[in-house]
Amino acid sequence: MKKLLATLFSVLALAACALSLVACGGYDVTLPIGDGNVENDGVIAEYHIDDVLTDGYKLKVTFKAESAANLNRKFTFSICNADPIFGKDYRESVLVTFDGSKLENGDYKVDIEIKLDNCFEKTETEKTFFIVLHDDVSPLGLTNCNSSEYKYTYKGDKLNITKD
């Protein structure tokens, strides 16, 4: 009986480890904007993006504001083919734009359905894209824009993502 229980426990432990490895694909990202010289003024986007996307993928994003954040502006969360801070010519696919007042009473959570063909070009050659959070103040700079960089290939109906 002890051997049976020990074997059963070992099999269950191995299955749990294998399941956790399969279920953990992707990247957890925290993307803040704010002035590093001003305490608690950040606006933050937090999300998990899988490493393989198909059309209609739901990206769940939570936007947060720190206590001293300026909420008297609009915020945009988008996908760009170049970093908008450093790129002079880039294409932006807006995923969501919202008024800062949405953050006055706490977190603002959105589920964004991504249409792959609207944001990415088909390619077997690895290309770069950026997920970007910025406000509506021009020009974009280090205090009002931040991005997370990814590499991708898009073959058939699958977008494969890697992050350095």
Number of structural domains, the chain?
1
pLDDT at 55: 97
Give pLDDT tens digits for 79-110: 999 999 998 889 999 999 999 999 999 999 99
Lowest pLDDT segment from 6-10, 27-31, 91-95: 6-10
Confirm whether 146 is domain-assigned.
Answer: yes
Confirm whether 2 is domain-assigned.
Answer: no
Token output for 135: 């406000």
Q: What is the mean pLDDT of residues 8-30?
A: 54
Confirm whether 12 is domain-assigned.
Answer: no
User: 85-92 long-range contacts, Cβ below 8 Å, gap at least 24?
Assistant: 85/140, 85/141, 85/142, 85/145, 85/147, 92/132
pLDDT at 164: 86
Q: What is the mean pLDDT of residues 24-49?
A: 95
Residue 153 maps to which CATH number?
2.60.40
Confirm whether 10 is domain-assigned.
Answer: no
Confirm whether 18 is domain-assigned.
Answer: no
- Structural domain containing residue 69: 26-162
Confirm whether 144 is domain-assigned.
Answer: yes
Reply yes or no on whether the pLDDT at 138 is more than 90. no
Q: Is 136 helix (H, G, I), strand (E, B) or coil?
A: coil
The answer to whether the CB of 72 falls within 8 A of the CB of 107 is no
Confirm whether 6 is domain-assigned.
Answer: no
Give pLDDT tens digits for 147-160: 999 999 999 999 99
pLDDT at 5: 32
The answer to whether the CB of 108 falls within 8 A of the CB of 127 is no
Confirm whether 14 is domain-assigned.
Answer: no
**What's the chain's average pLDDT?**
88
pTM of the model: 0.84
pLDDT at 24: 61
Q: Whole-angstrom Cα distance, residue 21 to residue 5?
A: 24
